[in-house]
Amino acid sequence: MMVRPLAGISEDWLAVVIGLAIFALSLGTVVGLDLLGFAAAPKTWIELGNAVQPAGKAFAPLGGLGALLLTYLFVLALLLLGAAALGADLRRFAIAFTAVFWLSYLCWIAGNFAYIAVTTPADMEKFGISWSLRLTGESGYLIALLAGLFIANALPRVACALREAARPELFIKIAIIILGGTLGIKAAEQIGLASSVMFRGFAAIVEAYLIYWAVVYFVARKWFNFSREWAAPLASGIAICGVSAAIATAAAIRARPIVAVMVSSLVVVFAMVELLILPFLAVTFLSHEPMVAAAWMGLAVKTDGAAIASGAVTEALILANAAARGIHYEKGWMLGTTTTVKIFIDIFIGVWAFILAFIWTRYIEPRKEGDELRTGEIWERFPKFVLGFVATFLIVFLIALASDTHVEPLSAAMKEANVFRQIFFLLTFFTIGLLSDVRKLWQEGIGRLAAVYVVCLFGFVIWVGLLISWIFFNGVHPPIVSG
Amino acid sequence: MAKPEPEIAKELDMAEHKPDIGKELRQIPAEPLLPIEKKLIGWSLGLGAVLLVVLVWLTGALFPA
């Protein structure tokens, strides 16, 4: 059933509406109304019956299955409203989303199996097990990614049927908006560290933009002889933030839509590869510099979804590694750092696209009279979901700053909202895999584009990102909490 | 407005049926770097180097270890 799309609504604005709705409902706990306590939160388990529990104590009688069913219906209802606003086929969306939700959640439950997730000897004793892969509960995200990847490549018809609900960018934007509230609490509690992270993130991004783009553009033009029409979106896709940047740049220089499409398909595949490799490299070599590792994920991994997903996995792995050494870092700071870096990147996409549009229209392909560049184009390309993130961050930050008595109820509220943030993370991982059809790499003509991507990403972007992260974040550590 | 990835994927599917993209990519005519492109690359890297010094100094000054 198709419905007419709402005028002016975009996926960005939709993320703002859904994210703020969940955030607002979570604030009910501040005034004694537990509106989201039914949210199904996975627990580390050895008996399947204990794998899921409602987040709020008042909802305990629901049991795991009841909570899971209510959570599914709640998220489905929210997204169906969103799909209706976007003019999607509601029936197809509902069917596809149902499959995406349950498959994703099953992966999450699998990742929380004690033999996979437990990280400390004390917990092994608690669950009565003698060994564990020590991958943390976040391994459920990676299992979801691999499941999506398997479906995309081994069962393409199934992947095609699920595509209506495969919207990783929408899911991650909703998650980021909810995350804003959690970061607001942390910032209020550690204002010095929070402002330091923000400044360092800003500095790292300025450097990455200026160095990455120029080098990748030069390599594409000079070494691989790409035309300007191909080289500019390719440089933005590899160097900045994947799909959004490639599309914004293609539009800015008036490239044909097919250029952005081809570059975007590469970005999605390579982002998935980065997501599978970089967090493990980070925990191997940077577990003593957790914030460097976190910023590195933000600078090196393309697309919001994959980058923040990498930040989440990196945080889980490094926290577990540190805990094994007797160091207990406060959770959330690494993910907050990756998110901060990524948010700055997103904000700058519009500015960079405007600069390119200015150069192209003025010097390379002057536009005709009446078709001049407008400063309003910066706003048109501004990622609107950032407004949602800033709003949730500031609301919680300012309330918590106003009085210490608000911190505890706000923390409880954000804890419940966080369950939905994790669910949207999970959906992001699964659908990133679902869209990563690696056979595209063998598509006619894409080999040369892929060659530029491989050379620049693995030969330059990842390592310069690491260097920049090291310069600005080495020596900065998350707060230590008592063991 | 950035398109959602499924839309891009759909366009890509359509693109797959356009064999001239592969041909086009193989036969891209040589486009030498224009002076303005060289300037853009040079300024970007130069500004990056200068700002690196400034931002490292500012970070140290504002947030001493």
Residues of A with Cβ-Cβ distance to B15 under 8 angstroms:
258, 261-262
Distance of CA A285 to the CA centre of its chain: 23
Mutation for B interface: A221, A241, A470, most B CBs within 10 A: A221
Return the SS3 of A166.
coil
Q: Which amino acid is at A301?
A: V
Q: Dihedral sign, CA of A453, A458, A459, A464?
A: positive
Residues of B with Cβ-Cβ distance to A217 under 8 angstroms:
37, 40-41
**Cβ separation of A359 and B36 shorter than 8 Å?**
yes
Q: Which residues sit opposite B21 in a β-bridge?
A: none
Rounded to whole angstroms, how far apart are CA atoms A19 and A216?
Answer: 35
**Cβ separation of A443 and B11 shorter than 8 Å?**
no
Rounded to whole angstroms, how far apart are CA atoms A244 and A412?
Answer: 34
**What is the model's pLDDT at position A361?**
84
Residues of B with Cβ-Cβ distance to A221 under 8 angstroms:
31, 33, 37
pLDDT higher than threshold 60 for residue B13:
no
User: In 3D, which of A481, A470, A483, A471 has the Cα closest to residue A289?
Assistant: A470
pLDDT higher than threshold 80 for residue B4:
no
A199 in reach of chain B (CB within 8 A): yes
pTM for the full model?
A: 0.80
A436 in reach of chain B (CB within 8 A): no
Find, in chain B, the residue whose alpha carbon is nearest to that of A168.
B5
Distance of CA A82 to the CA centre of its chain: 19
Q: Which residues sit opposite A59 in a β-bridge?
A: none
Alpha helices in A8-60 (DSSP H): 11-26
Return the SS3 of A225.
coil
Q: Within a 13 Å sphere around the CA of A119, how many CA atoms are in the beta-carbon half?
A: 20
Residues contacting residue A353 through CB under 8 Å, at least 6 positions apart: A236, A245, A248, A249, A251, A252, A377, A378, A381
Mutation for B interface: A258, A362, A436, A440, most B CBs within 10 A: A258
Q: Which amino acid is at A186?
A: K
CB A406 within 8 A of CB A400: yes
Rounded to whole angstroms, how far apart are CA atoms A138 and A352?
Answer: 34
DSSP A29: G
**Cβ separation of B9 and A243 shorter than 8 Å?**
no
Rounded to whole angstroms, how far apart are CA atoms A328 and A320?
Answer: 9
**What is the model's pLDDT at position A235?**
92
Instruction: With residue A307 as reference, give the H or E element that holds it.
Output: helix A304-324
CB A188 within 8 A of CB A404: no
Rounded to whole angstroms, how far apart are CA atoms A164 and B6?
Answer: 7
CB pairs under 8 A between A and B: 139
Distance of CA A345 to the CA centre of its chain: 13
Find, in chain A, the residue whose alpha carbon is nearest to that of B56.
A472
CB A304 within 8 A of CB A428: no
User: In 3D, which of A133, A118, A142 has the Cα closest to residue A45?
Assistant: A118
**Cβ separation of A214 and B2 shorter than 8 Å?**
no
Residues contacting residue A81 through CB under 8 Å, at least 6 positions apart: none
Rounded to whole angstroms, how far apart are CA atoms A87 and A63?
Answer: 36
- Does the ipTM surpass 0.85? no
User: In 3D, which of A446, A435, A418, A478 has the Cα closest to residue A160?
Assistant: A435
User: In 3D, which of A278, A296, A308, A66 has the Cα closest to residue A174?
Assistant: A308
Residue-level pLDDT, tens digit, chain A, 483 residues: 555 666 667 888 999 999 999 999 999 988 889 999 999 999 999 999 999 999 998 999 999 999 999 999 999 999 999 999 988 899 999 999 999 999 999 999 999 999 998 877 788 899 999 998 888 888 898 899 899 999 999 999 999 999 999 998 899 899 989 999 988 988 888 889 999 999 999 999 998 889 999 999 999 999 988 999 999 999 998 887 777 788 888 888 888 877 887 888 788 888 888 888 999 999 999 999 999 999 999 999 988 888 888 999 999 999 999 988 889 999 999 999 999 998 888 888 888 888 888 888 888 877 666 666 777 777 777 788 889 999 999 999 999 888 888 888 899 999 999 999 999 989 998 998 898 877 766 666 678 888 888 999 889 899 999 999 999 999 999 999 865
Residues contacting residue A281 through CB under 8 Å, at least 6 positions apart: none
